[in-house]
Homo-oligomer: A and B are copies of this chain.
């Protein structure tokens, strides 16, 4: 039976995770969940971000379900570097999977795109690039200060995520992969990404390919998001592009993500793209759909594709039936989704 570590976190995190757990229980009875208290609240209370003992315990689970961590009083970087990125790197979660669909019933911001037309997935590299933490500061707080950030890219890291993107594309209907980078300016990393992409593409004659600079891709995600199927890109570009993709498909309230270690050597982690939203926390009005869709990604990763499909179908029904302008009630949505998914 699947053992899930649950990090509910801060703000709306616990509220939305509670709904994701209802749905998990409904489709996979007997799933074992262990709660871990991590995030801003824990840090304020104990000054601990992620004790080694907790990291060791987390490693013994099949997957991690995370709500959201953070609040505005924690200095930037503390929880990001110390918890979220620490987990992605420690557990070698090199595939950061971010699907975006414009679900029927969801009012997207684009006048030109119809529901159902957008169905793309960004495969974002998760363990390299500018997220490596390779940077420094010299002459701090003087007029001579210089600060650096280094993007580190290895053939190893680039190839494995590109392979994952092609494998996913091969299982989809349109079988198309778009590489996004900035090869005309970042010529070293860009060349590594391009050469690796071409080498892997040559092994997949059934998958069509294209390349776009990140600025062009950011634009086309707004003007023609329909054109994308699978997008593979580096860590920072993926961070930006997936928020655009979320925006054009109804907002981060619906955006799910998985930080995946495809080999299963370490647990994969699933979390909504949204943050802890302290402004609406505790009111029971956060939309749990992103958390529930993240649970669907979790199910899929653990081999429960049928259960994952039932959860997605439940979300589709829920969204199609939402009356425009009526505020969401977190727990009610969770109850409905659990009932729908249980079938």
Contact = CB atoms under 8 A, between A and B. Distances in A.
Interface string A141-168: 1111111111111111000000000000
A77 to B, nearest CB: 4
A150 B147 contact: no
Contacts of A152: 146, 148
Contact of A141 (B188, B189, B195, B246): B195
A85 interface: yes
Contacts of A309: none
Contact of A222 (B136, B215, B222): B222
Interface in A244-285: 244, 246-248, 251-252
B142 A146 contact: no
A321 interface: no
Given A110-B109, A143-B155, A195-B141, A189 B148 contact: yes
A136 B188 contact: yes
A73 interface: no
Contact of A223 (B85, B141, B242, B251): B251
Given A183-B77, A243-B219, A151 B154 contact: no
A103 interface: no
A223 B252 CA distance: 11
A262 to B, nearest CB: 19
Contacts of A220: 247
A244 B223 contact: no
B155 A148 contact: no
B219 A135 contact: no
A187 B135 CA distance: 8
Interface in A103-156: 107-112, 130-131, 135-137, 139, 141-156
A147 to B, nearest CB: 4
B186 A149 contact: yes
Contacts of A190: 76-77
A304 to B, nearest CB: 30
B144 A155 contact: yes
Contacts of A141: 195
A156 B146 CA distance: 9
A131 B185 contact: yes
A143 B93 CA distance: 20
Given A77-B185, A143-B156, A240 B214 contact: yes
Given A76-B194, A108-B111, 16 more contacts: A109-B110, A110-B110, A111-B111, A130-B186, A139-B155, A144-B154, A146-B155, A147-B153, A148-B189, A150-B150, A151-B151, A218-B243, A222-B222, A222-B247, A222-B248, A223-B247
